[in-house]
Structures are given as C-alpha cells and as structure tokens.
Amino acid sequence: MKISIIQSNPAWEDKQVNFRKLEDLITPLYNKTDIVILPEMFNTGFSMNPENLCEPFNAETFIWMSGIARKANFGVCGSYIVKEKNHYYNRWVFVSPEKQTWFYDKRHLFSIAGEDKIFSKGQNKLIFNFRGVRISPYICYDLRFPVWCRNRNDYDLMINSANWPESRISVWNTLLKARAIENQCYVAGANRIGTDGEGIKYCGDSMIINPRGEMMALANTNEESIISGEISMTELSDFRKKFPVINDADNFKIDL
C-alpha cells in the first residue's frame, strides 16, 4: 500500500480557500496512492470557534472529501469540527472511493488551550480495514498517551493528524518514533506549517516511519509539500514473527 501525507498551510477559518489549496496539492496524487492523510482541522486550522465553523458530520467538508476520494481513487482522511446533538467534536474522518466512512472523535483534548471546555471527548478507539491494512487513527495530543494508542496486535498502521506547534516539535519527532517501535507498526504523522490566527507557529515535520522506528519519508520543514511511502504487510508480518514483542506486552484497562 502507498500512503501519502499533505503538509499544508491552512488559511485561518476559511474552508473554501482551504479546499481550493488542498485540491491543488492533491491533484498530482490522483490514481497514484491509496491513502491521502490531511492534518488536524485541515479546513479551518486549530480553532476554538466551533459555533461558527461546525457542521453536521455528512455536510460540506464530508461532501468535499467524498468527491476527492471518488475522482482520485484513494481514501482521504483528516479531522474537522462536527456538531452532533449539541456537542462539538474534533472528528477524524476517513472516506473511501466507494464512500465507505469511518470516524474517530479526539479522545485527549488539549486542556492547556481550553479544548476540553469547548469540545466533547471521544469515547471509542477506532480500528478499521482498508485495502488489506488495519488502521488506527489518532489526533495530535493523543500521541502523548501510549496506553490509549496501544497495539494489541489489532492494527498495522497508526495515523496521527495534528496541528503540533513548532515550540514542541522535538516531542512530536520523538513520540512518533516511539509509538512505531513500541507498537511494531507503521506510523504516519501529518502536521501543518505556517502561523495560525492565534499567532501559534507550526513547522511541519510530517513523516512516515517503519516498525523499527526508521524514517521512510520526511517533509521539508516550513514547506507545503507531499510525502509518500510504501508500506508492506508481508514485511510487517515477518518482522513481528522474528521479534514478537507484542506477545510480551502488558494488558492495560482503559477507563472510559
């Protein structure tokens, strides 16, 4: 399977501008990859203004994603603000070319920025199968919580869509590699660049990492770009058989 990450510089709280920018970036990937991964809140930037930016799950942004997936013959994923039953969610959505849909609501809300006061946290972990690869998605701050991300031999690819600030980018780099090593899985981390409407700076460092913690692809710092990598289920299976770390893992109870 080939996976690709779009490292973008989203316009602040302007969906239409972001859709057009992303279409320009995505077009070269038509029929050339299996999954395109977008950052957290790719259509607005990391905004605490859900009243004006939220939408129903299957509305404007979902329709845009579905159209891209259908035309380009790949799955598209990333998070955006959804309103459901008077609750706001930072929701990661995956849409296939056949319009199969999976979603995950961010579990660990970034309380330092007040995200937990505005958004409702997710209650369920997600694992789904797309084109023979078991995928488990997470959003930004989730990366800091290894128990929640723990692989119980039930997924092969971890995806993290993020708006991870430049001031803590060394943490991003370290934790992505750690999650790949400890979970014996491929990891794809999609981050943004630029400065958002709150003055927070982002430098990117989007990357794809193999189960040994080795870099397969790394985006240029502070540059809108696309990175891609081929992941192999055969190689992953062979590695897990030769070095079966997961068999010795602890069992954790997650308190929901």
Residues with catalytic function? 40, 106, 140
Residues constituting the chain? 256
Show the tokens assigned to 189: 């981390």
Q: How far is CA 197 from CA 13, 17, 53, 164, 201, in A?
A: 8, 15, 14, 15, 10
User: What residue type is assigned to position 161 of the chain?
Assistant: S
3-class secondary-structure state, position 71: helix
Across-strand partners of 84? 87
3-class secondary-structure state, position 205: coil
Show the tokens assigned to 123: 């209650």
Q: Mark residue 189 as left, alpha or beta (left: phi above 0; alpha: psi -120 to 50; beta: remaining).
A: beta
- Give the H or E element holding residue 188: strand 186-190
What does the DSSP assignment read for 179-208?
Answer: HHHHHTSEEEEE--EEE-TTS-EEE---EE
Across-strand partners of 230? 2
User: What residue type is assigned to position 168 of the chain?
Assistant: R
**Exposure string for 229-248, b = 16+ CB within 10 A, e = fewer:** bebeeeebeebbeeeeebee
